[in-house]
Amino acid sequence: MSTPATAIDARGVGKVFASRTGTVTALEDVDLTVAAGEFVSLIGPSGCGKSTLLRLVADLDEPTSGELLVFGKAPRAAREAGDYGIAFQQAGLLPWRTVQANVELPLELHGVGRRARALRAADLLALVGLAEFADAFPHQLSGGMQQRVAIARALAEQPSLLLMDEPFGALDEMTRERMQTELVRISASSGAAVLFVTHSIPEAVFLSDRVVVMSPRPGRISGIVDVDLPGTADRSDGLREDAAFFAAVTAVREVLHGAPAPVAARGVDVR
Amino acid sequence: MRAAQVRRWLAPALVGVVALALWQALVVAADLKPYLLPSPTAIAEQLGQVRPLVWSATLATGANALVGLLVGAATAILAALLAARSRSVDLLLSPTAAAVSVMPIVALAPALNTMFGTTSSTPRRLVVAVVVFAPVFVTTLRGLRQVQPVHRDLLRAYAATPRQAARTVTLPGAVPYVFSGLRVASATAVVAAVVAEYFGGLQNGLGSRITAAASNSAYARAWAFVLGAILLGLTFYVVTLALERAVTRRHGG
């Protein structure tokens, strides 16, 4: 499957929600492009519209202004073509299905045969290190394991785009770091572009090629930080103690808090 | 684990034994007449004498309750599926279910007896079905509407058709709700079956036997049949509870 060089292309995208007390501008004038295979994080305080932006890309909501293209198509067409895989803060597994049947769900919905599904699920469960839990039910798994199943499910159809809405938000710090290391490995090997929503600065820096910093009321992009670290394929736990890692964390924090970018920060592009 | 299980059963069993002893003591000490309250030993003696009759009456009433329960539950589940599917069917059926739920079975039973004749079990089974309908309908409909937002998003993200959404998420998600409705309905099914027999018709069930024994001043025997009704109700409740447990365990409940 040949894919266009641009995974996500947003121009002047806005989203206004109508509520009883009036209208809420969740997103205003967002310009963002995500290249194929690129890992981009959205970070910002609650209400900055980062999840809204992800939901617009996923066609779970529709923008009220601007133009949004996913692989050169309307988000709806991309969704119906199965161009992306998605994971949320809640694993959202179906409790009455085994781990394997949960991973197979997208394949089943799109008419993949039983044998092919089982083979693919076995590969995916091996990838996320849960091969021996194929026949377990979700409630028998820890939160981190459930989230790994959800990621395996998101990867089931080898999508060229992964949308992840705070997938590690509910996990403890240790599990979280291990999952981040795994995700770096998985996303590098799959070659998919990733749009990753988080409110952890170190998480965003560790995972991403670029970190998009957003601010609330109305939700907008306040700056984009290029993370000047080894390619995402070569990142490992050691990086967390590297000076370059701390420099990037500082750069993101300063954009987030609106402080003037210091001379030392590299590759900061404040809009 | 084992000791905890023993303790769980021991306490209620002990309460039961003490209550029976107090009952017996009260009847003997106060010299209560049998029409007021027969003693447990008198009831046990009667039970020994009419045991085959209690058994056959329990089976007859049990069959009525079971058939009514199955028919009522099947109708209710079908109606809930339709109501969950279409807003207009919901507007039509939900008030109907509310009306059915307040319909007094004491009023319904004699009317149905006249309708179907007094040699038929159908009126009793219909009474049970009517009583079962409302709780199963209401809980099933609630279950069908209880789709988690994250599952809804997931189905949309993967472009599932309405039929696929029903098969993979909505229907399996409603199953525990159906069973909690059935648990409530199963106990009332037995009560309805017994009460429906108070109003004439066939004389084969527990309700008929209780009224017959009482009108013949055989009070201890009436109580023996009451005991049969209690055991029948317990059986229905425990079986549906076990089914519900088995299902919710699978659901991780």
| CB contacts, 8 Å: B250 with chain A | 96, 137
Both tokens assigned to B129: 């079905």
Q: Are residues A118 and A78 in the same domain?
A: no
Q: Are residues B26 and B92 in the same domain?
A: no
Strands (E), chain A: 6-19, 22-35, 39-43, 65-70, 84-87, 161-165, 193-198, 210-215, 220-226, 268-270
Question: What total number of domains does chain B contain?
Answer: 2
Q: What is the pLDDT of residue A239?
A: 80
A219 within a domain of the structure (yes/no) = yes
- B1 three-class SS: coil
Chain B CA closest to residue A75: B157
pLDDT in tens, B69-82: 999 999 999 999 88
Q: Which of the residue ranges A79-83, A124-128, B76-80, B116-120 would you say has the lowest mean pLDDT?
A: B116-120
Residue A264 in this model has a pLDDT that exceeds 80: no
Question: What total number of domains does chain A contain?
Answer: 2
Burial classification of residue B217, based on how many CB atoms lie within 10 Å of its CB (0-12 exposed, 13-18 middle, 19 or more buried): exposed
Judged by CB atoms closer than 8 Å, whether chains meet at A79 and B159 is answered as yes
Judged by CB atoms closer than 8 Å, whether chains meet at B153 and A86 is answered as yes
Characterize B165-184 residue by residue with b for buried, 16 or more Cβ atoms within 10 angstroms of its Cβ, and e for exposed: bbebbbbbbbbbbbbbbbbb
| CB contacts, 8 Å: A52 with chain B | none
How far is it, in rounded angstroms, from Cα A58 to Cα A85? 9
Judged by CB atoms closer than 8 Å, whether chains meet at A96 and B175 is answered as yes
pLDDT in tens, A2-37: 556 789 998 989 898 888 888 888 888 999 999 988
Between B34 and A126, where is the model more confident?
A126
| CB contacts, 8 Å: B169 with chain A | 94
| CB contacts, 8 Å: B173 with chain A | 96
pLDDT in tens, B115-142: 887 788 888 899 999 999 999 999 999 9
Cβ atoms < 10 Å from Cβ of B59: 15
Cβ atoms < 10 Å from Cβ of A226: 15
CATH number at residue B223: 1.10.3720.10
Q: What is the interface pTM, i.e. ipTM, of the complex?
A: 0.85
Chain A CA closest to residue B174: A96
Where does a domain end: A114, A135, A158?
A158
Judged by CB atoms closer than 8 Å, whether chains meet at A92 and B175 is answered as no
Whether pTM > 0.95 for this model: the answer is no
Q: Are residues B40 and B66 in the same domain?
A: yes
Q: What is the pLDDT of residue B253?
A: 47
Between A229 and B83, where is the model more confident?
B83
Question: What's the mean pLDDT in B159-164?
Answer: 89
Contact A179, A202 (CB under 8 A): no
Chain B CA closest to residue A58: B157
Q: Are residues B121 and B134 in the same domain?
A: yes
B157 in A contact zone (CB under 8 Å): yes
A1 within a domain of the structure (yes/no) = no
Sheet holding A65-70, edge to edge: A22-35, A6-19, A65-70
Across chain B, mean pLDDT equals 88
B163 in A contact zone (CB under 8 Å): no
Enumerate the H helices of chain B as residue ranges: 2-30, 40-49, 51-85, 87-102, 105-116, 122-145, 149-157, 162-165, 171-197, 206-215, 219-250
| CB contacts, 8 Å: A170 with chain B | none
| CB contacts, 8 Å: A140 with chain B | 252
Q: What is the pLDDT of residue B17?
A: 92
Give residues 179 to 218 of A whose Cβ lies within 8 Å of B: none
Q: Are residues B27 and B39 in the same domain?
A: no
Residue A47 in this model has a pLDDT that exceeds 90: no
pLDDT in tens, A166-215: 998 888 888 888 888 888 888 888 888 999 999 899 999 999 999 999 98
Q: Are residues B172 and B203 in the same domain?
A: yes
Q: Are residues B10 and B40 in the same domain?
A: no
Residue A262 in this model has a pLDDT that exceeds 50: no
pLDDT band with cut points at 50, 70 and 90 for residue A232: low
Judged by CB atoms closer than 8 Å, whether chains meet at B159 and A58 is answered as no
Q: Are residues A243 and A121 in the same domain?
A: no
Residue A271 in this model has a pLDDT that exceeds 60: no
A88 within a domain of the structure (yes/no) = no
| CB contacts, 8 Å: B156 with chain A | 59-60, 79
CA–CA min distance B251, chain A (Å): 5
Q: Are residues B21 and B141 in the same domain?
A: no
Q: What is the pLDDT of residue A233?
A: 64
How far is it, in rounded angstroms, from Cα A221 to Cα A29? 8
Cβ atoms < 10 Å from Cβ of B100: 18
Domain span at residue B13? 1-31
Residue identified by tokens 């501008």 is A25
Q: Are residues A41 and A135 in the same domain?
A: no
- The 8-class DSSP code of residue A49 comes to S
Residue A260 in this model has a pLDDT that exceeds 60: no
- The 8-class DSSP code of residue B188 comes to H
pLDDT in tens, B87-101: 888 888 888 888 888
Pick from A106, A110, A137: CB nearest B252: A137
Q: Are residues A181 and A101 in the same domain?
A: no
Between B109 and A15, where is the model more confident?
A15
A23 within a domain of the structure (yes/no) = yes
Domain span at residue A141? 93-158
Q: What is the pLDDT of residue B208?
A: 87
